[in-house]
């Protein structure tokens, strides 16, 4: 399963539409739609962060797993298309703390201005 199909599966599991997710991720919905059906290559890594963020996954561990899976799939896809992600982009994800900061993966209480319990 490629990036597009997997992302579509994740989106459908959450009963979200292409347009909802694209809007939350700040992405063009027609592009996302084509990406899901693998008519376009997966997006750049920062867009993957934004797309996964748009799925609104609450469980941080699950979120990290999904992120890793999607980045791997995207990387494979780019490799097969001869457009490998740069080492710098991959490093950005591998450095989990950076990824957490980027994706606001801090504990829920500290997200969005600190709604702590």
Partner 1 sequence: MRNPYSGKDWWRRVRLPQIEGLASEQIMRYESRVCKIDTPWIPVDKFVENLWKYELLYDDPQRHGAAPGALAVLRPDLQLVVVSDHPADRARLEWNAAHEGAHIVVHVPPANEPSQGSLSFGNEIEAGTGERAVYCRDRACGFLDGPEQPYMYREAEYFAGCLLMPRERYEPLAKMRLIEALEECMSRGRIGLQDIESSERLRSAVYTQAVELAVGRMAEADLNGSVSKQAQKIRLSGGELGLIRETGETEQASAFGVYMRKSYEFSGHLVVLASRELDLDFSPEWRGTELTLR
User: How far is Cα 96 from Cα 18, in angstroms, rounded to an integer?
Assistant: 28
Q: Which is nearer to partner 1, 51 or 67 (CB)?
A: 51
Residue 80 binds to partner 1 (criterion: CB under 8 A): no
CA–CA distance from 113 to each of 53, 54, 79, 107 (Å)? 17, 18, 39, 12
Residue 30 binds to partner 1 (criterion: CB under 8 A): yes
- 36 φ, ψ (degrees, to nearest 5): -65, -35
Per-residue string for binding with partner 1, 3-22, x by CB under 8 A?
Answer: -----x---x--x-xxx---
Q: Which is nearer to partner 1, 21 or 45 (CB)?
A: 21
């Amino acid at each position: 399963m490629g990036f597009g199909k997997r992302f579509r599966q994740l989106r459908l599991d959450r009963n979200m539409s292409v347009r909802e997710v694209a809007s939350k991720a700040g992405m063009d919905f027609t592009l996302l739609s084509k990406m899901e059906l693998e008519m376009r290559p997966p997006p750049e890594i920062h867009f993957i962060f934004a797309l996964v963020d748009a799925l609104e996954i609450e469980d941080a561990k699950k979120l990290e797993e999904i992120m890793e899976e999607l980045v791997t799939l995207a990387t494979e896809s780019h490799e097969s298309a001869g457009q490998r992600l740069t080492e710098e982009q991959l490093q950005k994800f591998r450095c989990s703390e950076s990824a957490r900061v980027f994706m606001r993966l801090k504990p829920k209480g500290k997200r969005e201005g600190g709604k702590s319990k």
